[in-house]
Amino acid sequence: MSLAETLPELPPGANAKPYSVSELAFALKRTLEDAYGYVRLRGEVSKVTRHASGHVYLTLKDERACIDGVVWKAAVRGLKAQPQQGLEVIVTGRITTYPSGSRYQIVIETLEPAGVGALLAQLERLKVKLQGEGLFETGRKQRIPGMPLTVGVITSPTGAVIRDVLHRIRDRWPCRVVVWPVVVQGDAASGQVAAAVRGFNALGPGGGVPRPDVIIVARGGGSVEDLWPFNDEALARAVSAGAIPLISAVGHETDTTLIDFVSDLRAPTPTGAAEMATPVLAELKAAVSDLDRRMHRCGGHGVEKRRTQLLAASRGLPGRDALLGPARQRFDGAAGRLKAALARNAALHDRDLHGVAARLQPALLDRPRLLKAQRVSDLSARMDRAAARAGERAAGARLPQLGARMEFALGRRLQAAGERLERLEQLRCSLNPDRPLELGFARVHRSDGALARSGAELEGGEAVRLHFKDGDRGAVIDGTPPPRPAARPRTSRPATSDQAELF
């Protein structure tokens, strides 16, 4: 048997040079880049990932295949349209491989919309127009109320969006929710949504349908074509002209429509819109409770601080007994001397009264008349003596003249003295207590001799004495006495101006 027959049969190419994995991967890479150096692809964008480095990774697919794509950071800014999920695009680039993952991909240099390219260009022009009119300005946007009583929701009544919104509002802030049902896809969607926005703003306070404090326009995610009704110019102007704050929640977080720019607030999802429109009741209660505790704690600290300051200040002040002690002693001393001083003062005035009463006698009433007669007699004697002396000294011719003058002066003085005497007599008569008796009056004296000055002092059945001009008569008071007036405290007044000191 030959040696060739004893060796095993080798497969074809068994003597070929073996390649390393890297050599084969890079050989395939060169082959693809040489064969497909510049290609144009049409497909739908999916799985868009924006890396922190600025590169964009995506997948292009059709109904039977898919290919990975990458847009380097330098080329992202020059793209005519930014890649979005579900957007059909036409891309231009180079086919290459990724040796580390054993897969091929396209390095995209240009990207433009395929099916909606004209619509996107129209949308960009509309954005520029509305922005030029100031509809996107921050100053036009209204503040969302913190605690709304009524929330208006514009969405489809049959989708999952309305259930998510109602569930979220019910959990956070139980309030009234008014739903305006509309279609959110198709040609009629933009008109119905705009009419709903205008309808909510036309509601007046106190009507059958409550006017909402905030409006939410909500729709789930979808393709660019599905969300296109929310890029309508009439809808954007209706939202901008509304007086009620509006939150737009159209699509997912990466979806952007024209209504997002003119609304007062944009929410990433419908559930997020419900959270932005309503507070959390439990959090508000906890915040109020915390503020209440802090208020009481701060009030207690303030009171305690002022109490400490007051105690510190009071230590430097004299005590109550130290302040009031001298005054109390003076008061006690004066109170102790008051009774004795009153007795001495009454005794002093009683003595003065008795001293004056001893000199008050009926003869004093006749004294002015006797004094007048005595003075006239003395004056007449003096005049006689003066006339005698004058006659001795004066010549015979001058004596009649002097006598006439003396007689005139004497007459004047006698006339003046007579007038004074008459006035004293009139005064005596007016002060005479018996003078009213001559006119028919009577004095009423009680049983103890005291003079009755008013009828209120007399009681029924009391015996009295009536003093008339010609004598006295007894009498008894009859009838019910009139009500007595309230007793007034009697105040003793000094008989003279030089009353003795009380203390």
**Residue 472, pLDDT score:** 85
Q: How far apart are CA 125 and CA 209, in angstroms?
A: 39
Instruction: Indicate the helix (H) or strand (E) that contains 468.
Output: strand 463-468
Looking at per-residue confidence, does 280 or 320 come out higher? 280
Q: Are 254 and 147 in contact (CB under 8 A)?
A: no
pLDDT tens digit sequence for 453-493: 787 788 878 888 888 878 888 888 886 555 555 545 444 44
Looking at per-residue confidence, does 375 or 171 come out higher? 171
Instruction: Indicate the helix (H) or strand (E) that contains 415.
Output: helix 399-431
Whether 9 has a pLDDT exceeding 60, the answer reads no
CATH architecture, range 21-115: Beta Barrel (2.40)
Ramachandran area for residue 67 (φ above 0: left; ψ -120 to 50: alpha; else beta): beta
Percent above pLDDT 70 for the chain = 85
**Residue 116, pLDDT score:** 54
Q: Point out which residues pair with 94 in neighbouring strands.
A: 107
Q: How far apart are CA 172 and CA 455, in angstroms?
A: 90
This model's pTM is above 0.75:
no
pLDDT tens digit sequence for 238-282: 999 999 999 999 988 888 899 999 999 999 999 999 999 999 998
Indicate the domain borders of the chain: 21-115, 149-280, 363-432, 437-476
If you average pLDDT over each of 201-205, 391-395, 414-418, which comes out highest?
Answer: 201-205
**Residue 234, pLDDT score:** 93
**Residue 63, pLDDT score:** 78
Percent above pLDDT 90 for the chain = 32
Q: Are 469 and 461 in contact (CB under 8 A)?
A: no
**Residue 152, pLDDT score:** 96
Whether 499 has a pLDDT exceeding 70, the answer reads no
Asked if CATH classification 3.90.1150.10 holds for the domain at 149-280, the reply, yes or no, is no
**Residue 480, pLDDT score:** 57
**Residue 352, pLDDT score:** 84
Whether 361 has a pLDDT exceeding 90, the answer reads no
If you average pLDDT over each of 117-126, 147-156, 216-225, which comes out highest?
Answer: 147-156
**Residue 495, pLDDT score:** 43
**Residue 374, pLDDT score:** 77
Neighbours of 91 (CB within 10 A): 25
pLDDT tens digit sequence for 31-70: 877 777 788 998 888 788 888 888 999 999 887 888 899 9
| Confidence band of 81 (pLDDT split at 50, 70, 90) | confident
List the 443-445 sheet strands across, edge first. Answer: 443-445, 463-468, 471-476
Q: Are 237 and 172 in contact (CB under 8 A)?
A: no
Looking at per-residue confidence, does 215 or 436 come out higher? 215
Whether 7 has a pLDDT exceeding 50, the answer reads no
Looking at per-residue confidence, does 140 or 470 come out higher? 140
DSSP 3-state assignment of 444? strand
| Confidence band of 497 (pLDDT split at 50, 70, 90) | very low
Looking at per-residue confidence, does 288 or 354 come out higher? 288
Neighbours of 178 (CB within 10 A): 16
What are the b/e assignments for 37-67, b being 16+ CB within 10 Å?
eeeebebbbeebeeeeeeebebbbeeeeeeb
Q: How far apart are CA 245 and CA 216, in angstroms?
A: 9
Whether 319 has a pLDDT exceeding 60, the answer reads yes
Q: How far apart are CA 405 and CA 411, in angstroms?
A: 10
Q: Are 186 and 229 in contact (CB under 8 A)?
A: yes
Instruction: Indicate the helix (H) or strand (E) that contains 261.
Output: helix 258-262
Whether 154 has a pLDDT exceeding 50, the answer reads yes
E strands, 220-285, in order: 246-250, 265-266
Angle, helices 270-277/160-172, rounded to nearest 10 degrees: 30
DSSP 3-state assignment of 488? coil
Cα 233 to Cα 82, 92, 120, 127: the distances in Å are 22, 33, 14, 9
DSSP 298: H
**Residue 115, pLDDT score:** 61
pLDDT tens digit sequence for 332-346: 888 888 888 888 888
Whether 95 has a pLDDT exceeding 70, the answer reads yes
Looking at per-residue confidence, does 446 or 212 come out higher? 212
Mean pLDDT within 169-192? 92
